[in-house]
Amino acid sequence: MSARARIGVLALQGAFAAHTEVVRRLGREPREVRLPHDLDDCEALVMPGGESTTMSKLLETSQLFDPIAKRIADGMPVFGTCAGMILLASNVLDGRDDQRSFAAIDIDVRRNAYGRQVDSFETDLTLSGDAEPLHAVFIRAPRIERMGANVMALAECDGAPVLVRSTSVMAASFHPELTDDDRVHRMFLELVDTVERR
């Protein structure tokens, strides 16, 4: 096993504990990432839901932003859910002016775009190539409004992609860590293992 065998979970704010649990349930060692050196033994990183503006600020004060950006540039696989997806997007619409993102995947996302009145909703999605519906929880979710040519939609909701991937990045508008269904995390761990083998 390589020195970097852990699945990092960014643990500055938001729903990180549920991701940590899923990673453990799937037989992998999670590592909560709060400081730059926590990244050292991580082969991949999950960015949870929460509040992207707050996380952006905390990434700077904890001096994690630049080391994470460097690891992403070096090919570390990353998976962002909800606010985490906003942090990974190349372009954030309706963001705060000082909000930063890693531009790790070529998508435009609009914050809180599923409407403030219906803050949260649940629905069944179809995963590409899988007949079994996936129950998905959306909480003040960002909407993907544009996808680059190298980005693939793995699930859609009302005509908009809600789960996407590129070579080493996955992003979801919803919260797969809040349901018992592990398929989305399994997809990410497969991606991690594929990137590792290349």
* Catalytic residue numbers, as ranges: 82, 175, 177
For tokens 């991580």, name the residue.
42
Interacting stretch for ligand GLN, rule CB under 6 A, among 29-37, 46-54, 129-137, 190-198?
46-54
Nearer to ligand GLN, 30 or 50 (CB): 50
C-alpha–C-alpha distance, residues 107 and 148, integer Å:
6
Asked whether position 166 contacts ligand GLN by CB under 6 A, the answer is no
| φ, ψ at 145 (rounded to 5°) | -105, -15
Interface residue with ligand GLN among 71, 110, 111, 165 (CB under 6 A) is 111
Q: Write down how long the chain is.
A: 198
C-alpha–C-alpha distance, residues 27 and 156, integer Å:
28
Interface residue with ligand GLN among 32, 51, 145, 182 (CB under 6 A) is 51
Asked whether position 52 contacts ligand GLN by CB under 6 A, the answer is yes
Interacting stretch for ligand GLN, rule CB under 6 A, among 26-34, 37-45, 47-55, 160-168?
47-55
Asked whether position 83 contacts ligand GLN by CB under 6 A, the answer is yes
Interface residue with ligand GLN among 82, 109, 154, 155 (CB under 6 A) is 82
The Cβ-side half-sphere exposure at 60, using a 13 Å CA radius, reads 10
Closest CA to 79 of 162, 181, 179, 192: 192
| φ, ψ at 32 (rounded to 5°) | -70, 130
Residues that bind ligand GLN in the complex, under the rule CB under 6 A: 49-52, 82-83, 86, 111-112, 139-140
